[in-house]
Structure 1
Amino acid sequence: MGWQQRISLALAERREKQQFRQRRVSQHDDVRTLCVNDRRYLNFSANDYLGLSRDRNVIAAWQQGAERYGVGAGGSGHVTGYGAPHQAFEQQLADWLGYPRALLFISGFAANQAIIAAMLQKNDRIFADRLAHASLLEAASLSPATLRRFAHNQPEALAKLFSPADGGETLVVTEGVFSMDGDSAPLQELHQLTALHNGWLLVDDAHGIGVTGEQGRGSCWQQNVRPELLIVTFGKAFGLSGAAVLCSEETADYLLQFARHLIYSTAMPPAQAFALQTALRAVQQGDDLRARLQKNIRLFREGAAAGGLAILPSSTAIQPLLVGEEQAALRLAERLRERGCWVTAIRPPTVPPGTARLRITLSAAHQEEDIQRLLEALHDANGQ
């Protein structure tokens, strides 16, 4: 066939299915809005749930860190890239979340890939929630372990997968708050079931950390669960980027030896780790921000219910509007843009076939009039 023909056919298929992805250059002067092609929109697509990406103290901390430590780590953490800001933030994070150790990664995707690649061997089993993040499912499918998926948020479906293992280990994988549906996993039931069968539980809490639980400690804290492996990311409620794995002392030492994403990648810039310490304090002290976010969520859901919108059941900042077909979702997103609201259409393969949707995300930075404007735009757009 040839490389060029293979690429052309794959792109043509994506376009035919209305699944072709495109990037747009956007400018963010604040959390509430963004500007594309010189037009300003209300932004309902970002994951900046507490508005900390524009927090003055966090910005000042990054600037101070850059002046003190430079703008790059200069190498892997195993060589010269691991500095005092990394060590301090890892310790603060571990103490806050009640774990012996935390290890920083450059992204949540890298953290998930690294853990599964390092931990799983032949004859091991991975039982993953069917709607777990692509980074987890891809890593599981590439590992030598056997991957089996269970029905979304159904512990009884997970229970049916357990059987005497052939000498291997079992890792159960889920998200705390699911990125595309906005619902929460029944972590207590999953953890109890996993422990009963001598397995380990991995929870990716990218969309729960900073938003749920006491001081924003996340889904696991909120449900009184401490999984063996907890992944938190800093590109959502923390307002920056990067991720960390929370685990035991010995597991951390194991990952430092065998996690190739950690060993062979340039470390997170020390200025970023320095700024993350300030972001963590803002999250810890952010009860007012979380209360404002919950108010916006209630306001939106009440208005959506009154307008008969097909919003999926979610009490989180992620409020998906189920549309169904890809072309219909794209048309609805375009109508909203015409009315000044930026909402992204999410299509397969990111979500299952027939469940294309608008992924509406809310922030503490949104004002009441922003929510009302979005609801009015949705009402008008749906009426066309």
Structure 2
Amino acid sequence: MPVSEVWHQRLAVARDERERQQRWRNRRVSAHGALDFAGNDYLGLAQDPRVQAAQAEGAKRFGAGAGASHLVSGHLGIHDALEEALAEWTGRERALLFSTGYMANLGVLQALADSNTAIFQDRFNHASLLDGGALSGARSRRYHHRDGHDLQRLLARSTATHKLVVSDGVFSMDGDIADVGELAHISQQHGAWLMIDDAHGLGVLGENGAGCVAGFNSQQVPILVGTLGKALGTAGAFVAGDAALIEHLIQFSRSYVYTTAQPPGIAAATLEALTIVQREPEHRQRLTRHIDYFRQQAAALGLPLGHSHTPIQPLLLGSEQRTLAWAATFDEHAIQVGAIRPPTVPNGESRLRITLSARHTQSDIDRLLEVAAACLNEEQR
């Protein structure tokens, strides 16, 4: 049998199995004019004319791309300015830019952990954190979701030389928030460092939008990861911490060393977005009102809400079939929602992942709720 046929048979078996489980994913080109309740542009800054203009001006001034990695010739003045601004915003000594959030998490865990390290991760952590732990060669344990007692138990049993506790700040599929204070206390009790990936909290939560880590210093949360493509509306990520951490990552993080630096126009746009986040709290305030309104109305309709009070609002539908049926109805009404199925979430916990934005209007939310209510009513006939 030809080699290509052997491989294509393997691909076909994998496809058939995933389609049988109703878990096959399809890309789609977002339709112009569709109402987006699937993206992570929480403050609407991706569409802000000031951010768009800053990106264009940055590209015009510095070029469309950086042209090299940060350690060769790609680290430009605009990158340096953005790192300084991010460090000040998060109350850290230094910050380091990465091309994506996924690369940031892989890079931190690979650079810090080895076979003498034990990593303790929340069971609901993002895939990039789990993959980073696996690639690091460290011994990894996963504690029950937001369960400090289980984390205490695992840490107490560990004999590892170095211990690292890792958690999302806001969990991307459920929208609930880690108890950062408890995690910091437990980590310090057991001589562990704490790493928080606050991708979905930065810009949305806390004073000045500084996230769920606002008020916690670098002694309590030594490693802070944030993304720029969600509330800030651009692209890329950063790690913030003390100078020793950042210098170590510059030397040993493979996903930092061996990739081209962020396009300078993106850095310029992010600087503008960061200024808006800090100076214009009305965007966060409007988003908070949207969250409260959605939850009140959804509860009144009897929709299967999760327990989130963040922009991530899951409608817990259970089966893949039910989730796909509801998603198809939303598509028919030109409303984009996320149809989330295993393996992204546990078996039996498929859901529509609805995300709210400051750009939405109350009438947009009413339109969403109307379609959701129609789905529920159709099932009850």
Instruction: Name the TM tier (shorter chain).
Output: over 0.9
Task: Tell me if structure 1 keeps the 8 A contact 2:92–2:217.
Answer: no
- Map Cα deviations across residues 163-206 of structure 1 (whole Å, 9 max, x no partner): 36445211111011110000000110011000111100110000
State yes or no: 1:96 paired with 2:89: yes
Task: Tell me if structure 1 keeps the 8 A contact 2:95–2:241.
Answer: yes
The structure with more helix, counted as a fraction of residues: 2
State yes or no: 1:269 paired with 2:273: no
Structure 2 unaligned spans of 5+: none
2:106 pairs with one of 113, 130, 136 = 113
1:168 pairs with one of 158, 161, 164 = 161
Query: Partner letter of residue 197 of structure 1?
Result: H
Task: Tell me if structure 1 keeps the 8 A contact 2:34–2:336.
Answer: yes
Q: 2:223 corresponds to which residue? A: 229
- Map Cα deviations across residues 191-234 of structure 1 (whole Å, 9 max, x no partner): 10001111001100000000001110111006678411000101
The CA distance in 2 between the partners of 1:377 and 1:16, in whole Å, is: 28
Q: 2:24 corresponds to which residue? A: 20
State yes or no: 1:142 paired with 2:135: yes
The CA distance in 2 between the partners of 1:339 and 1:117, in whole Å, is: 44
Q: 1:70 corresponds to which residue? A: 63
Query: Partner letter of residue 235 of structure 1?
Result: G
State yes or no: 1:11 paired with 2:15: yes
Percent of aligned pairs sharing the same letter: 46
The CA distance in 1 between the partners of 2:319 and 2:216, in whole Å, is: 35
The 3 A distance-change label for structure 1 pair 297 and 150 is same
Q: Secondary structure at the match of 1:277?
A: helix
- Map Cα deviations across residues 237-281 of structure 1 (whole Å, 9 max, x no partner): 000110000011011111111001010000001121122111110
Q: Which moved more, 1:137-146 or 1:189-198?
A: 137-146
Compute the displacement of 1:138 (Å).
Answer: 1.2
State yes or no: 1:327 paired with 2:329: no
Q: Secondary structure at the match of 1:218?
A: coil
The CA distance in 2 between the partners of 1:220 and 1:80, in whole Å, is: 33
Structure 1 unaligned spans of 5+: 27-33
The 3 A distance-change label for structure 1 pair 65 and 80 is same
Q: 2:78 corresponds to which residue? A: 85
State yes or no: 1:199 paired with 2:192: yes
Query: Partner letter of residue 75 of structure 1?
Result: A
Compute the displacement of 1:340 (Å).
Answer: 3.1
Q: 2:213 corresponds to which residue? A: 220
Q: Secondary structure at the match of 2:89?
A: helix
Q: Secondary structure at the match of 1:202?
A: strand
1:183 pairs with one of 157, 171, 176 = 176
Q: 2:347 corresponds to which residue? A: 353
The CA distance in 1 between the partners of 2:331 and 2:249, in whole Å, is: 45
Q: 2:6 corresponds to which residue? A: 2
Query: Partner letter of residue 307 of structure 1?
Result: L
Task: Tell me if structure 2 keeps the 8 A contact 1:111–1:261.
Answer: yes
2:336 pairs with one of 331, 337, 342 = 342
TM-score, normalising length from structure 2? 0.95
Q: Secondary structure at the match of 2:156?
A: coil
Task: Tell me if structure 2 keeps the 8 A contact 1:122–1:168.
Answer: no
1:375 pairs with one of 366, 369, 374 = 369
Please tell me the root mean square deviation across aligned C-alpha atoms, in Å. Answer: 1.3
Task: Tell me if structure 1 keeps the 8 A contact 2:118–2:160.
Answer: no
The CA distance in 1 between the partners of 2:157 and 2:13, in whole Å, is: 44
The 3 A distance-change label for structure 1 pair 223 and 262 is closer
1:297 pairs with one of 266, 291, 294 = 291
- How many residues get paired? 373
Q: Which moved more, 1:215-224 or 1:133-142?
A: 215-224
Task: Tell me if structure 2 keeps the 8 A contact 1:52–1:58.
Answer: yes
Runs of 4+ off more than 3 Å: 164-167, 222-226
The CA distance in 1 between the partners of 2:215 and 2:318, in whole Å, is: 32
The CA distance in 2 between the partners of 1:167 and 1:203, in whole Å, is: 21
